[in-house]
A and B are shown apart, each in its own frame.
Chain A
Amino acid sequence: MAFEGAGLELAYRSHARRLHAVAYHVLHDRHEAEDAVQAALLRVWSSGSYQPERGPLLPFLIACVRREALDIVRGSKRRAERERRVAPPALVPDPTAALDPIEAQRVRAALDRLSPLQRDVIVRAYYGGSTLAEVAHALDVPLGTIKSRLAEALRRLGNELSGGTP
């Protein structure tokens, strides 16, 4: 008898803080953030979609959770339309502390080395929670330009973080 659910719980226990923070940042609702994390993990384990050659587990899970959270936003599956649960979540955001202060410092330094346009699109799309269409509208540039600029910015950021050439 296989117990895929145990792997799911192990991942939850180890990475809950990171995963919740990512979901919460998108949803701004603690219940919905928990739903997004649980739905993403359940999807991963019920489909068996993760294999070691897919890459390191945590970045993969973070991407899955962020996609799930953004799907909730995009699909108007918002909690306002659903029944609110009675049990309060024990999840407390702490805006005074970064999730990973050392890594956060490294990220800020790497962002500083991007071009202003690249930094701006990452800040708007990732930290600002804007959709690509909203960013395109705000900057008055075509959507395709925003997509390629954001992709290039993330590639450059990855190079900066891994110590490679920009």
Chain B
Amino acid sequence: MNDHLDDDAELFALGLTDPERSTAIEAHIAGCADCRARVVAAEAAAASLGAALPAMTAAPLRQSSRWTSGLAAAAAVVFAATTGIEGVALHGAAQQGARTDVALGAVAASHFGHTTLTSPPGSAVKVLYARDGAWLYLIADGLPAGVHAVVRQRGTQRDLGALAAGKPATLFVAGSGRVSDVTLVDGGRAIAHGRPAY
């Protein structure tokens, strides 16, 4: 574990180490900040090389024998009412990419639960939340115009602004304390409500 990676940091980032060596490298960098920083830098450079590859049109997620039925079913349940996160209703399109990446990083690194909010006919609202309360991710589809998301954190209500109408909208909440309640408000009237069960 004390042997640093030398050139293998870059070769690993380029996918050119064999599977056994790759596994050993992952184990090493989990405990070695210097080598981890080298791998992260090399991966950034390798990702930049990939930017010059030909563009592709994405395929929809496809059932495959490679997927365990449990994972596929879980993904299908949580996202049944959405068509993706392209319709992110955050605070300005310019911030969408950065916020999405923050959301992805948090979701990827955590164990989380989910709950479905009661909502008007024709709409669907789900909430994913980190078990430790670090973040909450709201996914809504088919809402009327002008619906605001209101959350309660540390006993204080916060209006997070209007969600996109009709199309799937998402909202990522993190960094201001655990959310105890989520309410969707339409013209002063609550139309949906739910509580994460941490």
Contacts and interface: CB of A to CB of B under 8 A. Distances in A.
| A and B form one complex | yes
A16 B86 CA distance: 12
Contacts of A7: 104, 107-108, 110, 112
Contacts of A141: none
B71 A45 contact: yes
Nearest to A89: B59
A99 B75 contact: no
Contacts of A161: 44-45, 48
Interface in A32-54: 34-35, 38-39, 42, 44-46, 49-54
Interface string B103-141: 111111111111000000000000010010000000000
Contact of A12 (B8, B53, B61): B61
Contacts, number: 256
B13 interface: yes
Contact of B47 (A9, A59, A95): A59
B26 interface: yes
A144 B62 CA distance: 41
B64 A63 contact: no
B104 A57 contact: yes
Which bracket fits the contact residues of A? 35 or more
Interface stretch (B33-41, B145-153, B155-163): B33-41
Contact of A155 (B40, B42, B61, B103): B42
Contact of B56 (A52, A92, A126): A92
Contact of B57 (A46, A94, A103, A131): A94
B49 interface: yes
A72 B152 CA distance: 49
B55 A99 contact: yes
A2 B59 CA distance: 26
A104 B51 contact: yes
B154 interface: no
A152 to B, nearest CB: 8
A93 interface: yes
Contacts of A17: 55-58
B interface SS class: helix
Interface in A1-16: 1-14, 16
B108 A18 contact: no
Instruction: With a 10 A CB-CB cut-off, give which of B73, B101, B108, B113 has the most chain A CB atoms.
Output: B108
Interface string A144-166: 00011011101101100110000
28 contacts: A3-B112, A4-B74, A4-B111, A5-B73, A6-B107, A7-B108, A10-B103, A20-B58, A21-B54, A22-B50, A38-B67, A51-B109, A52-B109, A55-B44, A56-B44, A59-B44, A67-B15, A67-B17, A91-B56, A92-B56, A98-B54, A99-B53, A99-B56, A122-B49, A127-B49, A148-B7, A150-B16, A157-B48
Closest 4 CB pairs of A and B: A55-B40, A151-B7, A103-B51, A158-B45
Interface of A: 1-14, 16-18, 20-22, 24-26, 34-35, 38-39, 42, 44-46, 49-60, 62-63, 66-67, 69-71, 74, 87, 89-100, 103-104, 106-108, 110, 122, 125-127, 131-132, 147-148, 150-152, 154-155, 157-158, 161-162
Interface of B: 6-19, 22, 26, 29, 36, 39-62, 64, 66-68, 70-75, 77-79, 84-86, 100-101, 103-114, 128, 131
